[in-house]
């Protein structure tokens, strides 16, 4: 749905340029220049946009649920690691950018969903995603959120990134995380408590064309991802009036489980050893969260997370 909105916004901007309203496009470009840093400075959220009725239907379609396992003290800042990426990242958007669920379960905390900076270069679309509570995934943006002296901020980062979307097959439990330690360093530098989050059902929304590692398709996808900065999974699901083929996601329940916080003491200059130690603890807590809840959401007993 977000992709469709982005395409519409870009198309509208092109119409302004080619039509008789080119001066509006020029004014917007000026605004874009003056407002360029806002996605890295907390964004510009709108409770009105976050409360649109369409998002209520969006959450109920799957449906999407947010599950709390522990209190999060609003006097601290938190870095929530969201897993897995999936194709749509529906659980992250539905729970952290729309509706009252997060606010009701974790009063006093404000969530910021960090996404790829490239999206904030899309005319008009950037205004919408900022109003929904999304900000850039750049280091500067994460630092801005976690540097809140009074606490009460929660950075939500999809750790596996675009690369992980290529593993988003139904039943897949493979997470791209072993080499991803930047979020650990950011948590240490700001003293932000780490919270693992696992979204059960995220990979069940679409079927993806087989792309095992080493295949020609996977090689092309990985090369394109390195060039463009985002992945291009070839996926399909259901249609509007039939269930055999289309791009509408399947109606599969999503349960986003927020784990217990891992206390982090601020360390402005963490060593590689300290980063690796906290990263190992995070992986341990993430696996523990998955194992404790997998039976509740249809994961077979013999299935476990695969870290790569």
pLDDT of residue 305: 97
- As a whole number of angstroms, the distance between CA 268 and CA 262 comes to 18
State both tokens at 68.
Answer: 């709390």
SS3 13: helix
Q: Are strands 174-175 and 306-307 parallel, antiparallel or unpaired?
A: parallel
Q: Which residues contact 148 (CB under 8 A, 6 or more apart)?
A: 77
Closest alpha carbon to 78 in 178, 159, 190, 175: 190
pLDDT digits (tens, 9 = 90+) for 124-178: 889 999 999 999 999 999 999 999 999 999 999 999 988 899 999 999 999 999 9
- As a whole number of angstroms, the distance between CA 79 and CA 191 comes to 10
Q: Name the pLDDT band for 2 (thresholds 50, 70, 90).
A: low
pLDDT digits (tens, 9 = 90+) for 255-298: 999 999 999 999 999 999 999 999 999 999 999 999 999 999 99
What value does the mean pLDDT take over residues 79-103?
Answer: 95
What value does the mean pLDDT take over residues 100-119?
Answer: 95
Examine the pLDDT at 3 and tell me if it is beyond 80: no
Domain positions in the chain are: 1-35, 40-307
Q: Percentage of the chain with pLDDT > 70?
A: 96
Which CATH class name applies to 40-307?
alpha beta
What value does the mean pLDDT take over residues 84-111?
Answer: 95
SS3 174: strand
- As a whole number of angstroms, the distance between CA 196 and CA 198 comes to 7
Higher confidence at residue 6 or residue 71? Answer: 71
DSSP assignment of 139-163: HHHHHHHHT-TT--EEEEEETTHHH
Closest alpha carbon to 287 in 156, 157, 178, 213: 178
Q: Name the pLDDT band for 231 (thresholds 50, 70, 90).
A: confident
Q: Alpha helices, DSSP H only, in 70-215?
A: 90-96, 101-105, 125-131, 139-146, 161-164, 182-190
Which value, in Å, is the radius of gyration of the alpha carbons in the chain? Answer: 20
pLDDT of residue 111: 98
Higher confidence at residue 235 or residue 200? Answer: 200
Q: Name the pLDDT band for 230 (thresholds 50, 70, 90).
A: confident
What value does the mean pLDDT take over residues 221-233?
Answer: 80
């Amino acid at each position: 749905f977000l992709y469709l909105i982005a395409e519409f916004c870009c198309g509208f901007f092109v119409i302004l340029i080619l039509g008789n309203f080119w001066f509006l496009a020029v004014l917007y470009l000026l605004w874009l220049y003056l407002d360029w840093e806002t996605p890295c400075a907390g964004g510009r959220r709108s409770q009105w946009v976050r409360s649109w009725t369409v998002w209520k239907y969006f959450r109920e379609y799957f449906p999407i649920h947010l599950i709390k396992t522990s209190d999060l003290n609003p006097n601290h800042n938190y870095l929530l690691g969201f897993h897995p990426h999936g194709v749509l990242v529906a659980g992250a958007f539905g729970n952290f950018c729309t509706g009252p669920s997060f606010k009701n379960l974790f009063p006093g905390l404000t969530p910021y969903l960090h996404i790829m900076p490239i999206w904030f270069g899309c005319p008009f679309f950037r205004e919408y995603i900022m109003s929904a509570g999304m900000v850039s995934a750049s280091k500067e943006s994460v630092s801005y959120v976690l540097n809140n002296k009074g606490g009460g901020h929660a950075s939500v980062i999809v750790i596996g990134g675009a690369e992980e979307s290529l593993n988003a097959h139904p039943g897949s439990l493979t997470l791209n995380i072993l080499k991803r330690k930047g979020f650990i360093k950011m948590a240490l530098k700001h003293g932000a408590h780490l919270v693992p989050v696992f979204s059960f059902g995220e990979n069940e929304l679409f079927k993806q064309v087989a792309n095992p590692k080493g295949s020609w398709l996977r090689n092309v996808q990985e090369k394109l991802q390195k060039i463009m900065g985002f992945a291009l999974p070839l996926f399909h699901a259901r249609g509007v009036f039939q269930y055999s083929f289309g791009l509408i996601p399947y109606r599969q329940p999503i349960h986003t489980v927020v784990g217990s916080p891992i206390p982090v003491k601020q360390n402005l200059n963490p060593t590689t050893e300290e980063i690796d130690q906290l990263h190992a603890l995070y992986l341990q807590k993430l696996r523990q969260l998955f194992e404790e809840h997998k039976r509740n959401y249809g994961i077979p007993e013999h299935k476990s997370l695969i870290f790569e």
